[in-house]
Amino acid sequence: MYQPEIGTSNRSWTLNRLNFAKVGIHDSCAAVEHLVFLRPDFFKVTVLYKWPMREKVYSPSMPRCAFLTIQDRQGWFIDDDLVHAPLRDLGWDIEDVVWNQSADWNTFDLVVIRSPWDYQHHLDRFLSVLRQIEESSAILANSSQIVRWNVDKTYLIQLQNQGVEIVPTELRYRPTADWLLEIIEQFATDEIVVKPTVGATADDTFRLSKQTQRGMLEEVCIVFANKPCLVQPFMRSITDEGEFSLMFFDGELSHTILKTVRAGDFRVQEEHGGGVTAIPQPESILVDTANSILTHLPEVPLYARVDLVRNSENRFLLMELELIEPCLYFRFDSEAAQRFALAIDRRLGSQRQLHR
């Protein structure tokens, strides 16, 4: 163990709320029990809380990262904690922070949007929090510019206008029951899916057909009476094969999965009973399609998930491009968490260079 020089012994350090931040401690409710130097720039602190003591290693230069998350995590499949250990191995202090609780963002070097999966119900507040983060000394990933563009699913139509093949999509304000039946005919399909332009986790998403009762059609119209919706033909490959998700970290493909639906359902999310299978060797056309889509972005995001479905002509169509808070399915690839930690580490260095 490193022996501190005279004058830097434990007793000469007065660690209280006023100078916690000097050694990387930002818990205002904490009291330092003792401090032991491990080497000149790293020291071990036993921190006494109102609950039992815990021990952490700090450094004056140790970067701090916050993962934005949801307050009530019960019932959600969140595996971002798998990234904590690889980040700590790289010398980071990492913690999960509930997105809509007060925090001093200046105490973090990097804030990564991970699982704030109720943001769509509080969109204005969510965007306000992101502005606060970007106005602080912390770096936000992904950037608020990317988030604002991606939060409204009409980005799909913008990408289509740039040559990206998407699932055919119609934007509609205040749909009527008659119009819903007409669009089924226009799409030359048996079924359609209606979803909000701003939404997540398949909230307010409906699968309709010519046989859907009039009352149900009217209920859907009520849901979208004061907000726009997107209407798409239901892709039969969703139930026959599934939806492919390709995870990219800093522009590089990390891993691929196939999401499948529960019998009798059409939603692939695990929260709705969907299944997930790792795809160790995705088809080259699948990877090429995803890479091509990402070239249309104005910047390289820290993370991106490209959701694709196969059409009847064996081409892959964009279902969604997830750039805000996608599940990244770390648990389905043993190296994924390490890759993400390395991408975070690189991102902080590159962003600091840009701000010099």
Question: Domain spans of the chain?
Answer: 10-58, 64-147+345-354, 170-234
Rounded distance, CA 40 to CA 207, Å? Answer: 62
Q: What pLDDT score does 201 carry?
A: 65
Q: What pLDDT score does 12 carry?
A: 34
Q: What pLDDT score does 351 carry?
A: 61
Q: What pLDDT score does 4 carry?
A: 38
Our separate counts of H helices and E strands in the chain read: 9, 16
Within 10 angstroms of residue 338's Cβ, the number of other Cβ atoms is 19
pTM of the predicted protein model: 0.80
In contact, 245 and 259? CB cutoff 8 Å? yes
Rounded distance, CA 86 to CA 109, Å? Answer: 17
Q: What pLDDT score does 19 carry?
A: 38
Q: What pLDDT score does 314 carry?
A: 94
Peptide bond between residue 142 and the one before it cis (omega within 30 degrees of 0):
yes
Q: What pLDDT score does 199 carry?
A: 80
* CATH of the structural domain 170-234, one choice from 3.30.1490.20, 1.10.3720.10, 3.30.930.10, 2.40.10.10: 3.30.1490.20
Q: What pLDDT score does 264 carry?
A: 66
The letter for the amino acid at 198 is V
Mean pLDDT per segment of 10 residues, for the chain of length 356 residues?
A: 37 36 43 46 44 48 93 91 97 96 96 95 96 96 96 96 96 96 95 90 85 96 95 92 96 96 69 83 98 97 97 95 97 98 88 52
Q: Which of 181, 262, 190 is nearest to 220 (CA)?
A: 181
Q: What pLDDT score does 349 carry?
A: 73
CATH of domain 64-147+345-354: 3.40.50.20
Rounded distance, CA 82 to CA 101, Å? Answer: 23
Q: Label residues 91-120 b or e (16+ Cβ within 10 Å = b).
A: ebbbebbebbeebebebbbbbbbbbbbbbb
**Tokens found for residue 272:** 């709705």
Could you give the 3-state DSSP secondary structure of residue 9?
A: coil
**Tokens found for residue 295:** 């070239």
β-sheet with 110-115: strand ranges across: 93-98, 64-69, 110-115, 139-141
E strands, the chain, are 31-39, 42-48, 54-58, 64-69, 93-98, 110-115, 139-141, 170-172, 191-196, 206-209, 229-233, 243-249, 252-260, 275-278, 303-310, 316-322
Q: What pLDDT score does 266 carry?
A: 65
In contact, 208 and 192? CB cutoff 8 Å? yes
CA distances from 355 to 118, 137, 138, 349 (A): 32, 11, 11, 10
Q: Which of 197, 202, 198 is nearest to 169 (CA)?
A: 197
